[in-house]
Amino acid sequence: MVGARRVVGSLYRECFGRQVEVEVSLAPSPVRSRDRSSRSKRAFDFRAATYASSVKTSADRELGPFESLIHNNNHPPRQSSGSINMTFNVWKHLTTAIKNPDWASYNLGIFICMRCASIHRSMGAHISKVKHLELDRWEDSQVQRMKEVGNTAAKNKYEERVPPCYRRPTKNDPQVLIEQWIRAKYEREEFCHPERQNYLSGYMEGFLMKRGKEDSRYQRRKFVLNENEDTLKYHHPCEDCGRATSCIGRFFDRLHLKNFARWRYHVKENKEPKGVLRLSELNVAFAPAKIGHMNSMQLTFMKDGSTRHIYVYHEDPEVINYWYMAIRCAKLHLLQVAFPSTPQSDLVLRLPKDFAREGWLWKTGPRSSDVHRRRWFTLDNRKLMYHDEPLDAYPKGEIFIGHESNGYCIKVSNTGNGCKEARFPFHVVTPERTYSLAATTHEDRACWLAVIQQTIKRPLTPQDSTIEATLVRKRTSSNSISIFSGR
């Protein structure tokens, strides 16, 4: 037998950032494969080192499982022909700490999870060559490649120049965000070549499918993002008109009537935008479950003292991801101008976020005779909005969730409220009034209480104060629709 070779692998989920380094020994297995085509291939086993110094971790809180592993490592390793295996104890503790990295890309030299493995396969073998750690057969050269690279070295290479405005995905993020993060790293290599990051310029234009305000049809609209103007505008589609006039223009060019052709095209391009959104007041979130399209976003902004929702999607996931990152980058640049002395790390926390929570709740008015009505609630930063339907263009009402020092709190009621489906009531108390809400299940109510309580305890930012002032002025104005009404 060839002497054991020592390998240090940095095992962690590629997307999720939790890192554990484990020193293991790689020794030939005495078991030979019965497959005639693979008899000459050696089978290897990953065997855990039994010394405490061989186990390293990036976080002290993850040392616990490995301490018991070191002192109780008496189980013999499983052996399986033609595969890379670990002892049961090592595997159990690794999966607890790093969420099952049972796949690897052997040409990139990284360990990945099953979700990321499917994305790596979709990129093609010319980008990433994927194998299972136990079910696939490994060549000596492939194992050597894993030994030479590892996740840490690969991360330093492929994430060398990630812009601060770029959103790094987590395990609960939408598929489009995770997929485009992986493709940006390994397929397009955006973070190795900054010139490929087309979303940093502060200007972007293109076509997205937008849902109508009055109906559910999606229409093609031209969107233009301009950081210098602090705007995101959308227009009626001019591309088809531009094509038509381009054809007409070529026809008139042949007739030597170029000025007439140019005049027609100029008129088409100078139409007023159908909508203007201020970037500084804009929030953007992926919404595949709500819209029913994997590559979809929800744009939320203030309009005349109330919140307006716009729902868009694009067939190309790369395009929708570029729009999302372009909005984040433009907002970060505007924040840096507005708050030059604030650290960049603090400004990044103010960039667009997904909604803290969304779902159906039951709501009733302040009078005992008021009936319970089912509403779709959305907690966007400090605005708790409720709608008739999830894709409404405007909320039916809005509740500002301020700081606890200003009299905001939540109360739980365990008494019946007369509604069979609204079994788990709770109350949101504001200085103006108390809102009576109810969830269908105990778990749903507990989740809503947790996110609202967290919002109440969070200090207010200058942007929060501005929104609060806008909503208060709307409530005291003479408009017939009040966002603080009991509808």
Q: Which helix (H) or strand (E) holds 345?
A: helix 344-348
pLDDT value, residue 89? 34
pLDDT value, residue 22? 43
- 269 phi and psi angles, rounded to 5 deg: -80, -15
User: What mean pLDDT comes out for the span 40-65?
Assistant: 36
- Tell me the whole-structure pTM to 2 decimals: 0.74
pLDDT value, residue 418? 60
**Mean of pLDDT over the chain:** 76
Tell me how far apart the alpha carbons of residues 271 and 263 are, in angstroms, rounded to a whole number.
Answer: 13
Percentage of residues in the chain with pLDDT exceeding 90?
Answer: 56
> At the top level of CATH, which class does the domain 195-348 belong to?
mainly beta
pLDDT value, residue 109? 94
The correct CATH number of 5-158 out of 1.10.3470, 1.20.58, 1.10.220, 2.60.40 is: 1.10.220
pLDDT value, residue 125? 94
DSSP label at residue 270 = T
pLDDT value, residue 238? 58
Tell me how far apart the alpha carbons of residues 19 and 14 are, in angstroms, rounded to a whole number.
Answer: 9
pLDDT in tens, 360-373: 999 988 777 778 89
pLDDT in tens, 265-313: 343 444 788 899 999 889 999 999 999 999 999 999 988 888 999 999 9
User: What mean pLDDT comes out for the span 335-339?
Assistant: 93
Whether 99 has a pLDDT exceeding 50, the answer reads yes
pLDDT value, residue 417? 59
Q: What are the start and end residues of each CATH 2.30.29.30 domain in the chain?
A: 195-348, 357-476
pLDDT in tens, 13-41: 343 444 444 444 444 444 444 444 443 34
| Residue with more model confidence, 483 or 313 | 313
Whether 92 and 137 have beta carbons less than 8 Å apart is answered as: no
pLDDT value, residue 63? 34
Q: Does domain 357-476 have CATH number 3.40.50.2020?
A: no
pLDDT in tens, 271-280: 788 899 999 8
User: What mean pLDDT comes out for the span 468-483?
Assistant: 48
DSSP string, 371-440: PPEEEEEEEETTEEEEESSTT-SS-SEEEE---GGGT-EEEE--S--S-SS--EEEEEE-SS-EEEEEES
DSSP label at residue 357 = E
pLDDT value, residue 96? 31
pLDDT value, residue 416? 59
User: What mean pLDDT comes out for the span 88-108?
Assistant: 60
Measured on CA atoms in the order 284, 285, 288, 290, is the torsion positive or negative? negative
